[in-house]
Amino acid sequence: MGTLRVLPVMAAIGILALLVNPVCAKDELIVYSWWTAGGEADGLNALFSIFQEKYPQVSIINTTVAGGAGTNSKAVLKTRMLGGNPPDTFLVHAGSELIDTWVKTGFVEPITELWEKNGWYEVIPKALVDMVSYQGEIYAVPSDVHRGNLLWYNKKIFAQHNLQPPTTFDEFFAAADALSRKGITPLALASKNRWPLTHLFETVIVGVGGPDFYRDLFAGRIAWTDQKVKEALTILGSMLRYANTDHPALTWDQACARVVTGEAAMTIMGDWAKGYFTTIGAEPEVDYDIVPAPNNDGVFIAVTDTFVLAKNAPNRENGLRWLEVVGSLEGQNSFNPRKGSIPVRADSPHSIYDPLAVRTMEAFLRDAVVPSAAHSSAVSDAFVSAINDELGAFAVKQNVTYTAARLEQHARELGVR
Ligand code: GAL
């Protein structure tokens, strides 16, 4: 039979199959995230591979909107959810972003039974369980823990110029002066998607006030016009003077790249940076290394990504299967080494992680852990967006009193205080 004569027969069989089993025509898994950069996309793909091996008949629809920290993708997701077009599962930070934006509004399903079935209570630390719980139900599966408050530095540059990685603000500025004199940009910064300024700022808040001040400030117990906030803004302003002037044009990974190429000596970023460095062939402890951000020793700013089951998910069963992969030992240990993060499961072997990850695992157990504000765990998306805007303006004008007053005004208008 010639090809042309076979085609109608095949079409008829296809239509018949559709009539008999409509589900088989649309056996999909729709995953929504902002993971498009090197490292984060690789981690996601590793999870897809595991899923695909287990469920080869399912087509994975990887829906992404680029822009680190979800600054662009979150708005698109809201429109999609409000329009009644949910994905099956989506990426969301634990804490306020999950609970205030999605759980209280009824857009995600509780998955407490899935937690019980998979024994996750026994292996995931209580602090993380609390961050994904609301009124006795669990709503998400964490894929990772990132440390946000890390300073990344180019080892060769520091060795060449006989410099030690800075641990305090004074040491940071001394090193920055020395590097500037040599014509090297001390600090790589990206502010194209605004959030890296807030990311940097929250480390400065910790550095100035410590973990309790940080918690109280973001919980609304301290005014944004407090002297320590002004001090933090002043330090932020001084740091910006040592940063690349083209930061408004760069994404976080482009800024990180400069540390590896030697165009800049340091950057302050979460350890998704390591996932990215790996994809460009840079080696931890050889090409680059980490120390806590200045004055941040003993404090761990946690950024935790999770996946949820959307209410009215078009492929609910596959959404649940996806969550099982995310929370599985295999999923965690295939995802996290690529992503640059540490696994959330206590039963994960340390041996497959690089030395920086092992240090981060130890710090997570030892340090005062505070949730990131820049990544919407400590405060709502709306407040983070307002802080992003104010710090964007601050980067240009550097008016400390004005910015502190504006932040206080936003906190009051949004009911944070
Ligand atoms: C964070 C997220 C990380 C990483 C980073 C850059 O908000 O938690 O997983 O992807 O943004 O996109």
The answer to whether residues 94 and 326 touch, using CB atoms and an 8 Å cutoff, is: no
CA dist., res. 215 & res. 219, Å (int): 6
The alpha carbon of 35 and the centre of ligand 1 are apart by a number of angstroms equal to 7
**Rounded to the nearest whole angstrom, what is the distance from the C-alpha of residue 302 to the centroid of ligand 1?**
11
Pull the structure tokens for residue 87: 């994905």
* Distance between Cα 67 and ligand 1 center (Å): 9
CA–centroid distance, residue 63 to ligand 1 (Å): 16
Please tell me the distance between residue 8's alpha carbon and the centre of ligand 1 in angstroms.
48
274 lines ligand 1 (CB under 6 A): no
What is residue 142's three-state secondary structure?
strand
* Cα gap 405→417, rounded to integer Å: 13
Out of 64, 375, 388, give the residue to mutate to test ligand 1, the one with the largest number of ligand atoms within 8 Å of its CB: 375
Q: Which atom of ligand 1 is nearest to the CA of 39?
A: 10
pLDDT, position 25: 55
Closest C-alpha among 199, 192, 92 to residue 149: 199
For the Cβ of 176 lying below 6 angstroms from any atom of ligand 1, the answer is no
Beta strands of 89-203 (E only): which ranges? 89-93, 133-134, 137-138, 141-142, 146-147, 150-154, 185-187
305 lines ligand 1 (CB under 6 A): yes
Write out the DSSP string of 281-300: T--BTTTEEEEESTT-TTEE
Q: Whose CA is nearest to atom 1 of ligand 1?
A: 69
CA of 94 to the centre of ligand 1 (A): 12
Pairing of strands 28-33, 59-64: parallel
Q: Give dist(CA 327, CA 123) in Å, integer.
A: 10
How many residues in the chain?
417
Q: Does residue 120 contact residue 325 with C-beta atoms inside 8 Å? A: no
Q: What six digits make up the tokens of 374?
A: 């820049």
Instruction: Answer yes or no: is the C-beta of 68 below 6 A from any ligand 1 atom.
Output: yes
The protein residue with its alpha carbon nearest to ligand 1, atom 5, reads 69
Q: Which pair of structure tokens corresponds to residue 83?
A: 């329009």
Ligand 1 mutation target, pool 32, 33, 36, 40, most atoms within 8 A of CB: 40
Atom from ligand 1 closest to the CA of residue 34 = 12
Atom of ligand 1 nearest to the CA of 304: 8
Mean pLDDT by 10 residues, the chain (417 residues): 38 43 71 98 98 98 96 96 98 98 98 98 97 98 98 98 98 98 98 96 99 98 98 98 98 98 98 98 98 98 98 98 98 98 96 97 98 98 98 97 98 96
- Measured CA to CA, the distance from residue 332 to residue 145 in angstroms comes to 11
State the distance from the centre of ligand 1 to the C-alpha of 305, rounded, in angstroms. 8
Quote the CA–CA distance of 186 and 180 in Å, as a whole number: 6
Find the 179 Cα to ligand 1 centroid distance in Å: 29
Q: Where are the alpha helices (DSSP H) in 29-150?
A: 40-54, 73-82, 96, 112-118, 120-123, 126-131
Is the distance from the beta carbon of residue 40 to the nearest atom of ligand 1 less than 6 Å? yes
pLDDT value for 26:
82
**Prediction pTM value:** 0.94
The type of residue at 341 is S
Which secondary structure element, helix H or strand E, spans residue 195, and what is its range? helix 195-218
Ligand 1 center–CA 272 separation, angstroms: 7
Q: Which of 32, 33, 34 to mutate to test the pocket of ligand 1 (most atoms within 8 A of CB)?
A: 34
